[in-house]
Amino acid sequence: MKYKSHLISILLLFVISNTFAQKANILSTDKLKNFVTEFNASDDEAVVNFVPNAQSFEWLSQNIPLFECPDSVIQKVYYYRWWALRKHLKQTPDGFIFTEFITKVNHAGKHNAVSSALGHHIYEGRWLRNQQYINEYTSFWLDVDPKHTVQRFHGFSSWIDDAVYNRYLVNLDKAFIEKNLLTLEADYRKWEVEKQLPNQLFYQFDVKDAMEESISGGRKDKNIRPTINSYMYGNAKALVAMAKLAQNDTLAQKYEAKAIELRKLTIDNLWDQKASFFKVKLEKTNGFSDAREAIGFIPWYFNLPDDKANVAKAWNQLIDTTGFKAPWGLTTAERRHPLFRTHGSGHGCEWDGPLWPYATTQTLKGLSNLLTNYKNHGAMNAQVFYDELHKYANSHQMNGKLYLGEYQDEKNGEWLKGDNPRSKFYNHSSFADLIINDLVGLKPRADNVLEIKPLISEKQWDWFCLDNVFYHGKNLTILWDKTGKKYGKGKGFMAFVDGKQIAKAKKLKELKASL
């Protein structure tokens, strides 16, 4: 009853805050409406879930942060990704869920649910104004799926604890954390039973990382991978934070010790000093794979690596055309490797080099963390982040029209499954979160401090505005106006809460203020 009452309070707050937000906003919904009209007109709407195209503008205008920038590609894709995400929102007898595939697939569970991109879904969905959708979706995997005869949640590696806590940093819904803490902790222990080796590291089959047909992996090889070990480290850290929030000191101390140990084991065992890269350790040889793969960047997603120059050197591979840099984006394996793009096997997916939005999202999040949380950056800078984010946005096309699919050719952008109905609007990555959290740089915190660390240069853009962000129960606006003529609020970088300016800087740089 306590949690139900809290949910009712959240919904009432949503209605009240949404009404107030419309009055406090700097941006109108006109641009959103124009884009939605265009997206709807080009869509045959073969599948209709909770919000049909005809109601998409209304739903989006009530739920998403508004964004405006001079980069027409990033601008358009920002709204396209929200419009496409809305297509996957499904109301079921077990509550709201988000699907991954727009059509039914055989390996999905109940209601066509697939857990492989759950972390991405929660990170993206944390910016929705109405949090009922993500609440119920998370509860579906934690409470409903375990009751099934054939459970699907552990069909794929997961960073759910990390995602749930990072969502809390946006909405401060303590009751949701307290309600689910012990279930999340039990789920962590289940992973230990299923996938932890005697050496305390975790193994995974590449297909269960949602990364099948990789150079280093195998569908039956119990290799120790940077993916699952990074995820479990991030989960352990999140459990520490959530346990402290719930004043469960015993649990906090338990997972603090686990996080410290797993971090050390991952660095000691998966860092290949010769290659200057995190790599897969092979079950059969107990040695490293000879391939650098994009999963070697995932440790930075969770701020796991040491802040050292020789470690940051790994990122130099991102701008090497024999490494991961390609005309259409970031490859999933280094291009110099002799097995690059050789695994086309009839299984329909391959992670031996093609571009996957799933991996691009992870790599860009890791790069953002390197640039904002570390002193040593190697050859990386904000321009590299912007260039790759722009390429990622630009890759959302097929035959000159907007499109989001599974994976692409790195040289020409061809979607390698073609216009397969199951791949259309493939909900296997995130994009809006990279704009909000990383490019604009809104860094959610548990305290009352607003922190913004932009990864955009004032030489790149003269203006931008992120508006209608529901953060800590308030309506937040972040804008940059080099000349002061675009928004009429004066020159500089500014933050507004509920329409009131709380911070300003002359330059486009880090901002901090009390909410």
The DSSP string of 171-227 is: H--HHHHHHHHHHHHHHHHHHHHHHB-TTS-BEE-GGGGT--S-SS--SS--EE-HH
Alpha-carbon distance of 322 to 317, in angstroms, equals: 8
Percent of the chain whose predicted confidence (pLDDT) is above 70: 95
Alpha-carbon distance of 266 to 318, in angstroms, equals: 22
State the chain's mean pLDDT as an integer.
95
Coil, strand, or helix at residue 90?
A: strand
Alpha helices in 25-158 (DSSP H): 30-41, 56-63, 72-87, 118-125, 132-139
Residue 118 has pLDDT above 70, yes or no: yes
Q: Which residues contact 450 (CB under 8 A, 6 or more apart)?
A: 471, 476, 495, 497, 502, 503, 511, 512, 513, 514, 515
Q: Which two tokens stand for residue 187?
A: 């789920």
The closest of 367, 511, 366, 377 to 445, measured between CA atoms, is: 511
Instruction: Give the DSSP H or E segment for 432.
Output: helix 432-433
Q: Which residues contact 445 (CB under 8 A, 6 or more apart)?
A: 169, 451
The β-bridge relationship of strands 95-98 and 203-204 is: unpaired
Alpha-carbon distance of 123 to 188, in angstroms, equals: 19
Confidence of residue 20 (pLDDT cuts 50, 70, 90): very low
Task: Give buried/exposed letters for 460-470 (b at 16+ CB in 10 A, else e).
Answer: bbebbbbbbbb
Write down the number of H helices and E strands in the chain. Answer: 14, 17
Task: Give buried/exposed letters for 148-174 (b at 16+ CB in 10 A, else e).
Answer: eeeebbbbbbbbbbbbbbbbbbbbbbe
Instruction: Give the DSSP H or E segment for 252.
Output: helix 249-270
Residue 324 has pLDDT above 90, yes or no: yes
Q: Rg (Cα) of the chain, in Å, rounded?
A: 22
Confidence of residue 13 (pLDDT cuts 50, 70, 90): low
Q: Which two tokens stand for residue 81?
A: 């990704």
pLDDT digits (tens, 9 = 90+) for 205-261: 999 999 999 999 989 999 999 999 999 999 999 999 999 999 999 999 999 999 999
> Tell me, what DSSP letter sits at residue 127?
T
Mean pLDDT of 476-480: 98
> Tell me, what DSSP letter sits at residue 146?
G
Alpha-carbon distance of 351 to 185, in angstroms, equals: 31
The answer to whether residues 404 and 415 touch, using CB atoms and an 8 Å cutoff, is no
The closest of 49, 69, 112, 126 to 433, measured between CA atoms, is: 126
Alpha-carbon distance of 44 to 424, in angstroms, equals: 11
Q: What is the pLDDT of residue 347?
A: 61
The closest of 297, 230, 226, 219 to 259, measured between CA atoms, is: 230
Q: Which two tokens stand for residue 255?
A: 């997972």
Residue 285 has pLDDT above 50, yes or no: yes
pLDDT digits (tens, 9 = 90+) for 424-459: 999 999 999 999 999 999 999 999 999 999 999 999
The closest of 131, 132, 137, 134 to 112, measured between CA atoms, is: 137
Alpha-carbon distance of 353 to 342, in angstroms, equals: 9
Residue 310 has pLDDT above 70, yes or no: yes
Q: What is the pLDDT of residue 348?
A: 76
Q: Which DSSP string corresponds to 269-299?
A: HHEETTTTEE-PBPTTTSSB-S--BGGGGGG
Q: What is the pLDDT of residue 114?
A: 96
Q: Which DSSP string corresponds to 459-494?
A: TT-SEEEEEEEEETTEEEEEEEESSSTTTSS-SEEE
Confidence of residue 12 (pLDDT cuts 50, 70, 90): low
Tell me phi and psi for residue 195, to 5 degrees. -130, 5
Confidence of residue 18 (pLDDT cuts 50, 70, 90): low
* CB neighbours of residue 186 within 10 Å: 11
The closest of 141, 230, 151, 150 to 184, measured between CA atoms, is: 141
Q: Which DSSP string corresponds to 102-115?
A: SS--TT--GGG---
Alpha-carbon distance of 105 to 34, in angstroms, equals: 33
